[in-house]
Amino acid sequence: MIFIILIMSASGGLGMDINYVITSPSRWEKKDWGICIGLGVGIYGIMSQDEKIQDFIKSNEVHCLGDAVASYCTPLSDGLVASGIMGGAYICGSLLNNEKLKETANMGLESILITGGIVNCIKLIAGRARPSVGKGAFSWIGPTLSHENMSFPSGHTSIAFTLASVFESQYKSPIIDFVAYGLASLVAWSRINDNTHWTSDVLVGAIIGISVGKAITNNHRK
């Protein structure tokens, strides 16, 4: 992972993409701010129903099926595993002389790093208790290093959706879109099924992931 970061930093691409993502709001138009405000209101509305949604899912889940799906989906969106997959894709692109695959893998790696950085900063500052802790959906203790209080937003979901966004932007294929976003949605669902995140956690994680992925692919097209 450190080796990958050093390579991308040396090329200047990672630094430029970080700057582009961070400064994205300065380029927003009125409609973009309208969407942002609308999403904020919607997220708060879902947050107010988090406990009811969680109770409904836990009381109606099929344990064997849900746990089986979660056990396969969750590891795929782990930052290190996802980075390894993108690293493998980059190597395959090099061996096959496939520049598009190499570019996609590179943007995927950058998306993982930037998304992970943003999400972890929010986690540390927000300090939201996970559903499994039993303190309720509105337990926010502020800055913390406690894993039990790093529910918001979902890191696994953000990684899954940022990669889906990169692949969607690169390949423009309905099949790839269906597979990429389908897998990302299963990851999001698995985090709720495992009682690790609230519904609003995975929603915000997905929004952050998609936003970062779109920003990076747009920046690379300039």
Query: Using one digit for the tens of pLDDT, what is the confidence trace for 134-179?
Result: 999 999 999 999 999 999 999 999 999 999 999 999 998 999 999 9
How far is residue 149's CA from residue 141's CA, in Å, rounded to a whole number? Answer: 8
List CB contacts of 214: < 8 A, sequence separation 6 or more. Answer: 165, 169
Structure tokens at 14: 């990672």
> Which tokens hold the place of 96?
């096959």
Average pLDDT in the 47-52 region? 96
Question: How far is the C-alpha of 103 from the C-alpha of 89, rounded, in Å?
Answer: 10
Tell me the pLDDT tens digit for each residue of 173-219: 999 999 999 999 999 988 998 899 999 999 999 999 999 999 999 99
The CATH architecture of the domain made up of 43-221 is Up-down Bundle (1.20)
Q: How far apart are CA 206 and CA 160, in angstroms?
A: 8
Give me the phi and psi of 128, to 5 degrees please.
-85, 135
Compute the distance between CA of residue 127 and CA of residue 147 in angstroms, rounded to an integer. 9
pLDDT > 90? residue 121: yes
On the question of pLDDT at 1 being above 60, the answer is no
pLDDT band at 3; cut points 50, 70, 90: very low
| Bigger pLDDT: 60 vs 114 | 114
**187 closest CA partner among 72, 21, 19:** 72
Q: Is the pTM above the cut of 0.85?
A: yes
Which tens digit of pLDDT belongs to each residue from 4-38?
544 454 455 788 899 999 999 999 999 999 999 99
